[in-house]
Structure 1
Amino acid sequence: MALRLLHYSEIDLAAWDECVARAREVVPYAHSWWLHATAGHWEAVVEVEADGRYRAVWPLPVKRRPWGREVYQPPFTQQLGLLVAGEEVSVAMLPAMARCYTRFYTQLNTANGLPMLPPGTSVQPRQTYHLSLAAPAGHIRAGYCADYRRRLRLNEAALQPLRAQEARNAEPLLTLFQQTQGAAAGLKPRHYTVLRRLIAVLAQRQLLELHEVHHPQTGALLAGTLFVRYRTRLIYLFAAASVEGKKAAAPLVLVDAAIGRHADTPDLVLDFEGGMIPSIARFFANFGAGPVPYAALSFTQRPWYLTWMR
């Protein structure tokens, strides 16, 4: 069984999704419907079995530039990397096959580890935060930091406590993010278009959980979250909070409510999908979550017409 570098038109999408669904690596971002929403088309390293099934896939979203093709990480797609539904395949095989790209950047998944690769390939350590939801909710809450437990007790004792409520329309959440965090996060109008497309696909597949916290008197939106439930993962995909909402601990209420909904579920892990910014990492760690490393691979090579330069 040989590894092949395929263009998008050569990919069997049914075989692709079947491989992703049974892979050891739990990576919803690699499904064809997620990639269609966030990247459009992609190329891939694929290993095909004799019966036509895919045994291993490595998605490579590509942009065409005047200087050549470049692999990039699409928005709202934390991890890609190698997914294997069978015997082990080494991530070290990729660079030799990917040298046809002028620029290359991809984020591996947590199961790929931190590989040793040939000179010229940069390996950048990254981390996300995971929290097991296998225990009962009370046991998990006991692992929160003391301040979080205190703030939750105060909220529950209030005459009008903040409560997480299911919502059906993500537009108020997106508007809140644009008004509060969008500029600092560097999101452009095209990013919101991608996110809306992804939300529609996730809702259609019944993988989306949207919850909000409103002010008990004014009804103003204080905070909201988008979670994705896929196989053994609950992914903290997107969130926003107003200044008033942060002061009132609305984000804390939302995450605690999600943990309560899914606690006592064997093998389920809450992936906070982040942790590179220290303040955000502390927010996740205060729930008892621990850091989990993964890697970003990158290299740049000169176009063929500049290789004569020294």
Structure 2
Amino acid sequence: MSLRYLRHAEINLAAWDACVAASQAAVPYAYSWWLGATAKQWDAVVELHAETDAYTSVLPLPCKWRPWGRQVYQPAFTQQLGLLTTKESQHRVIADYLAMTAGRFSRFYTQANVNNLVPPLPADFTFTERRTYLLDLATDYATLQARYSADYRRRLRRNLEQVRPLIVTEAVAAKELIQLFRRHKGGEVAGLKAWHYEQLNALMKALQARQLARIVEVRQPDTDNLLAGALFVQHQAGLIYLFAAASPAGKQAGAPLLLLDHMIRQHAGTPGLVLDFEGGIIPSIARFFANFGATPASYAALSYSTRQPWYLLWKP
């Protein structure tokens, strides 16, 4: 089976999605409809089956033009991409795929997935370790809750002892959740611009069309004001804590804790299901996730940069 570099217009999207679905890494970010919402354009290195022209492995390369030339980048709302291989794949070393990008880009940055074995790398590539937190939901809820920090268990008990405890409800739209995020320094803290919210709305539509979106909220009992909300992606092998927001009052009331506990309670005892908290680089956020009993998992950020003029880097 041979490796081929494909420009976006050459990619067979049906073969692409079939390969992602059959891959040994559960990476929903790599589906064509997800990339279509967050990146629009992506090139790829694919492994072609010798007889059927099916894709047996894919390396997605979201790319765009900049004044200094073409660059590969990591789209927003897309934590991991990297190499996705199927059982039929005969090329399992990501360096072989990266080598086929030589001379095509002036800058390159991509985040691989937790299943990728990275070293060795082609010349000029650098490797940076990133981290997420994962929680295996195979065991029952009582066992999972016993692994929470003592403070988290105490907060959950105190909420239930209230005359009107805060409760988690399901929502069908993320409009208020996104407004809450933007209201409380979404752009300043997360660096999100107007077009990022357009991408998020497009991704929401794609997720809801496939019944993969779970929107949960906590509201103030007396005023019905939104205290906190979160968007979870429920795919075949897991849950992704994709997007969340909370007001200062919601944080003080522990509403984000209630949202995560609600989803853990609902999905506890499901073999093979893993909750990806989608973060862990910032120490305070890492502690928040670890207090649920989640464990760190590393993945690689791969990059290089060249100062050559774009016209010396262009390849058809």
The TM-score by the shorter chain falls in which range?
A: over 0.9
Aligned residue pairs, count: 307
Question: Residues 8-32 of structure 1: CA distance to partner in whole angstroms, max 9, x if unpaired?
Answer: 1110000000000010010000000
Q: Which amino acid aligns with 1:9?
A: A
Equivalent residue letter for 2:299: Y
Q: Deviations for 1:251-297, whole angstroms, at most 9, x for unmatched residues?
A: 00000000011111001000001111111111100000000000000
Cα offset, 1:215, TM superposition: 0.5
Paired with 1:156 and 1:3, the residues of 2 have a C-alpha distance of 57
Structure 1 length-normalised TM: 0.96
Aligned counterparts, 1:89-100, within 5 A:
89-99=92-102, 100=104
Equivalent residue for 1:5? 5
Deviation, 1:42, is 0.6
1:158 to partner: Cα distance: 1.1
Aligned partners of 2:45 and 2:161: how far apart in 1?
55
- The answer on whether the counterparts of 1:5 and 1:44 sit within 8 Å (CA) in structure 2 is yes
- 1:232 maps onto 2:237 in alignment: yes
C-alpha RMSD over aligned residues:
1.3
AA aligned opposite 1:227: F
Of residues 261-270 and 178-187 in structure 1, the stretch that sits farther from structure 2 once superposed is 178-187
The answer to whether the 8 A contact 2:70-2:310 is kept is no
State the partner residue of 2:65: 64
Match of 1:277 in 2: 282
* Aligned residues of 1:113 and 1:293 also touching (Cα < 8 A): no
Moved over 4 A (4+): 304-307
Tell me, which stretches of 5 or more residues in structure 2 are unaligned?
none
Equivalent in the alignment of 2:250: 245
- Equivalent of 2:178 in 174, 179, 195: 174
Report if aligned partners of 1:81, 1:107 keep a CA contact under 8 Å in 2. Answer: yes
**Normalised TM-score (structure 2):** 0.95
- Is the CA contact 2:227–2:255 (under 8 Å) kept in the aligned structure 1? yes
Inter-partner Cα distance in structure 1 for 2:64 and 2:309: 18
Shift of 1:113: 3.4
**Cα deviations across residues 157-199 of structure 1 (Å, max 9, x unaligned)?**
1111111100011010000000113021111111111101100
Q: 1 CA distance for matches of 2:122 and 2:205? A: 41
Shift in Å, 1:302: 2.6
Answer yes or no: is the 8 Å Cα contact 1:130–1:270 preserved in 2: yes
Compute the displacement of 1:117 (Å). Answer: 1.3
Q: Which deviations, in whole Å up to 9, do the C-alpha atoms of 1:40-75 show, x marking residues without a partner? A: 011000011021210000100110123321100000
Which residue identity is paired with 1:209?
R
Equivalent residue runs for 1:200-219 within 5 Å: 200-219=205-224
Contact 2:95 2:118 in 1 (8 A): no
Q: Residue in 1 aligned with 2:46?
A: 46
Alpha-carbon deviation of 1:217? 1.1
Structure 1 unaligned spans of 5+: none
8 Å CA contact 2:69–2:310 kept in 1: the answer is no
SS of the residue corresponding to residue 115 of structure 2 reads helix
Structure 2 residue aligned with 1:186, among 191, 196, 205? 191
CA separation of 1:162/1:305 partners in 2, compared to 1, >3 Å: closer, same or farther?
Answer: closer
Amino acid at match of 1:141: Q
Instruction: Note if contact 1:68-1:303 (Cα within 8 Å) is conserved in structure 2.
Output: no
* Corresponding position: 1:14 with 2:14: yes
Query: 77-86 vs 59-68, which deviates more?
Result: 59-68
**Are the structure 2 counterparts of residues 105 and 7 from structure 1 closer, same or farther at C-alpha, using a change threshold of 3 Å?**
same
Q: 1:282, 1:180 → 2: CA distance?
A: 22
Q: Give the secondary structure class of the aligned counterpart of 1:111.
A: coil
Distance in 1, matches of 2:311 and 2:240, equals 43
The CA distance in 1 between the partners of 2:120 and 2:59, in whole Å, is 18
Q: Contact (CA 8 Å) 2:213, 2:231: kept in 1 or not?
A: yes
Question: Aligned partner of 1:233: which letter?
Answer: G
